[in-house]
Amino acid sequence: MNRRDSIKTITFASIGAGLLLEGCYGISSEKIKRSLTRYEYGRTPDEIAYDDKLFAQKFFTNKELSDLDKICNVILPPNEFGSIRDAEVVQLIEFMAKDIPSYQDPLRKGLDWINEESNSKFSKSFIELDDNSVKQIFDEIGFYDPNSNMSDLPEPVQWFNLVRNLTMTGYFTSEVGIKELGYKGNMPNVWDGVPQDVLDQYGLKYDEDWLEKCIDQSTRMTIAEWDDEATY
């Protein structure tokens, strides 16, 4: 399953990423969904050309990409399922910044701010900070009243909220993120009727004559063998 499929079936339903990203920057959910993968399925020639054009461009500098990598790893540290690098989260943010220009200014301003804050508090650039120093900065901007209007909050809080939402969206619509969610989609199973304890609860039972005509599920994996006269 690619990000295009999973964003429709999981993310918008479970963590509401579309609403989170849509609310602050006025971007339609369809525009967000469009940006979530290299489309190789269901794309028109014009759409493929548009995506290829964006993939050929570069928005963030290498320094900014390194900062984003560190930020995203703090937001969602690696675990036994994978990491934001496995999920290519930073690449996703880079693509979305090119696809949705209104993200560019807040994302870049936020990266400038976090480096200014790092220099002001610790006389180091953000990439040089240890975990404790990073936590001190993030504690200032990572928590807010959920009942507040996001646009009324300080810009660093809005920026961090945007990056956090992009990180979560990128990770949980990737292969490793879907594996962590335990989502398996539609899978074949065996229907062997209503369980006996449920039938007993309602005083019901299957008709024995009818049951004899049903498939014996214990033999469902048996491969038929035929003789020369087509006799089983």
pTM listed for this prediction: 0.66
Query: What distance lies between CA 198 and its chain's CA centroid?
Result: 38
Q: Where are the domains of the chain?
A: 3-181
Among residues 111, 100, 171, 105, which one has the least CA distance to residue 141?
Answer: 111
Indicate the DSSP class of residue 113: H
Between CA 14 and CA 20, with CA 15 as vertex, the angle to 5 degrees is 140
Percent of the chain with pLDDT over 90: 34
User: pLDDT confidence of 231, banded at 50, 70, 90?
Assistant: low
pLDDT digits (tens, 9 = 90+) for 83-137: 988 888 998 899 889 988 999 999 999 999 999 999 999 999 999 999 999 999 9
| Two structure tokens written together for 125 | 């650039």
